[in-house]
A and B are shown apart, each in its own frame.
Chain A
Amino acid sequence: ELKVEQNPLFLSMQEGKNYTIYCNYSTTSDRLYWYRQDPGKSLESLFVLLSNGAVKQEGRLMASLDTKARLSTLHITAAVHDLSATYFCAVVPLLGTYKYIFGTGTRLKVLA
């Protein structure tokens, strides 16, 4: 059974600081996705990573994928309050299925 784990589960950080969220998964995959969810809202796609070594950046967020280590990171640079949300990674196993399995989520709170 595919497992997708994120850490930390909760993150409280000061504005202007940098931090990294980690996403580990337990099976072979070359497709990894990051989503953002605001409280009481739906999930919004942030990044799609489709190969080993893929790196995507949008504003203060940068995501990367290491398929050999089965690890993706979401790096936050100079955090601002507007980044407060829950971040999910999702993985699709390599073997011809389209089961998007989501991680546990990381609840980020950026303190002004």
Chain B
Amino acid sequence: DAGVIQSPRHEVTEMGQEVTLRCKPISGHDYLFWYRQTMMRGLELLIYFNNNVPIDDSGMPEDRFSAKMPNASFSTLKIQPSEPRDSAVYFCATRRGNGNTIYFGEGSWLTVV
């Protein structure tokens, strides 16, 4: 079974550009989480979905960030406009409804210059 698939793996963009990160969850997993990891702030939960519905977005840093899950197989995290302080690794993670463990993707390494 394929794991959580994220794209792009690496992205370098200029300040002010729009960035879209993508995630394909493990089949059958109905919870999806977006995390951001930086040296200064560690692993921060940005938002999570259950059955494609956003449940808690209290960790989304500001209006420049938005996340969607149009169907059970796909989610996006968008930053518009991007700023240098958004540089981080963004992880997508998923779990089954009756499971416990969350499984992480390989991450998207974002650098905003």
Contact = CB atoms under 8 A, between A and B. Distances in A.
Interface residues of B, number: 21
B106 A42 contact: yes
Contacts, number: 44
B102 interface: yes
Interface in B21-49: 31, 33, 35, 42-43, 45, 48
Interface of A is mostly: loop
Contacts of A104: 42
Contacts of B50: 98
A68 B107 CA distance: 35
A87 B49 CA distance: 26
Interface residues of A, number: 19
A12 interface: no
A31 B100 contact: yes
Interface of B is mostly: strand
Contacts of B71: none
Contacts of B91: 42-43
B12 interface: no
Nearest to B33: A100
A49 B105 CA distance: 22
Interface centre among A33, A99, A101 (most CB of B within 10 A): A99
A89 B76 CA distance: 26
B104 A101 contact: no
B48 A102 contact: no
A41 B6 CA distance: 13
22 contacts: A33-B101, A41-B106, A42-B105, A42-B106, A42-B107, A43-B104, A44-B104, A45-B101, A45-B102, A48-B100, A98-B31, A98-B50, A98-B95, A99-B48, A100-B33, A100-B45, A101-B45, A102-B35, A102-B43, A102-B45, A104-B42, A105-B42
